[in-house]
Amino acid sequence: MSIVADDRLTALSGDDISRYSRHLILPEVGVEGQKRLKAARVLVVGTGGLGAPVILYLAAAGVGTLGIMDFDTVEISNLQRQVVHGTADIDRPKVASARDRISGLNPDANVVTYNVRLTSENALDILKDYDVVVDGTDNFPTRYLLNDACAFLGIPNVYGSIFQIEGQTSVFYAKQGPCYRCLYPSPPPPGLVPSCGEGGVVGVLPGIVGTIQACEVIKLLVGGGQPLVGRLLLFDAWNMQFRELQLDKDPACPVCGQDASIHELIDYEQFCGLKAEQEAAPVDTITAHELKARMDQGSALQIIDIREPHERAVFSFAGAKAMPFGQIVRRMDEFDPSVDAVFICKVGQRSVYAIRALQDAGYTGRLINLRDGSNAWARDIDTTLPQY
């Protein structure tokens, strides 16, 4: 059964019949299914790697109303995978770029843009107007927020996530099966899972996963096929392998279980440990200019490059000792506590976690973080080096 109400269905125009003819002659969709797509309202949260193919294919398929939400602007590094944007869109709001691309592809699509961050304060008011929500986000607080809001409103949440060369997809629909919390009751510790900006991602991966998400949305709207409710699809792009895991509803789930204990949206940054991280004692920092000055003065320094080998292949930091993040604590005896140690990563975030790990392990020497990491060095000191 489709989740689109029958009383919203309207006739297809002559242009509709021409544009969607390949759907109309398909028994699984047909005229009835195309009417449901035309009447449907879908919200895509995130217009990045995952959201890009979702938006394009749903617009092309004839989904009547597309809500697109993102508060970011287009950067050149996005274009390796976020195919809804182009070079001319750099520095534009992503929702504006995506809206223009949709209009060029299908001018009949009604596009509603939200150039805001999804929060506990606005989520329910925005989501309640949609039939399906697509999770194209890249952070844990928003994933849990989307899950809980969809569970409270009874809306299917078409989930996707990617990391480096692997992706996963499911449909979390608390009315019919498990929710995201049934699969992941609690988030990982802050910093454990790198973002795409730090861990990298093969460009086609979000295209594949996002296209699967778009297919799941279409099935939910037309009421056909076997949606991924209660199933988690795992994809390994490098070995071109798919696996499927069966998901069961957790009776003890605090959101969709028998005795649910959460009945309203909470502080998701606090739930994911990010506020505790923000409130932790600050680490010492140094700017690229300050580090260059100390190096020119011949100051005694231990410069530790915690980037991975494939990152150092982009460019190496002269005079630094290579020590990947995962080796820091067990190689603590290689540091000299009497000499300041400066830690370098790509953007200055992993190095904070490395410093705190050493402090927790009992290291007593002074530990300093290079603010904004190797990108700051390439930006401010040696502009012949790439920012990546």
Report the catalytic residues.
196, 345
How crowded is residue 318: how many other Cβ atoms within 10 Å of its Cβ? 9
83, 97 contact by CB (below 8 A): no
List Cα–Cα distances, 248 to 5, 13, 218, 226, in angstroms: 28, 43, 23, 16
Residues 231, 254: Cα–Cα separation, whole Å: 20
- Helix (H) or strand (E) run with residue 246 in it: strand 241-246
Closest CA to 248 of 137, 170, 162: 170
DSSP code for 283: P
Give the three-class secondary structure for 265. Answer: coil
Closest CA to 6 of 48, 30, 40, 29: 40
Residues 200, 388: Cα–Cα separation, whole Å: 10
Q: What are the respective helix, strand and coil percentages of the chain, to the nearest 5?
A: 40, 15, 45
Sole residue written with tokens 């944007």: 85
Residues 58, 109: Cα–Cα separation, whole Å: 9
Give the three-class secondary structure for 296. Answer: helix
136, 45 contact by CB (below 8 A): yes
Which residues partner with 166 through β-bridges? Answer: 163, 236
Residues 221, 132: Cα–Cα separation, whole Å: 8
Residues 294, 315: Cα–Cα separation, whole Å: 21
Tell me which amino acid residue 333 is.
D
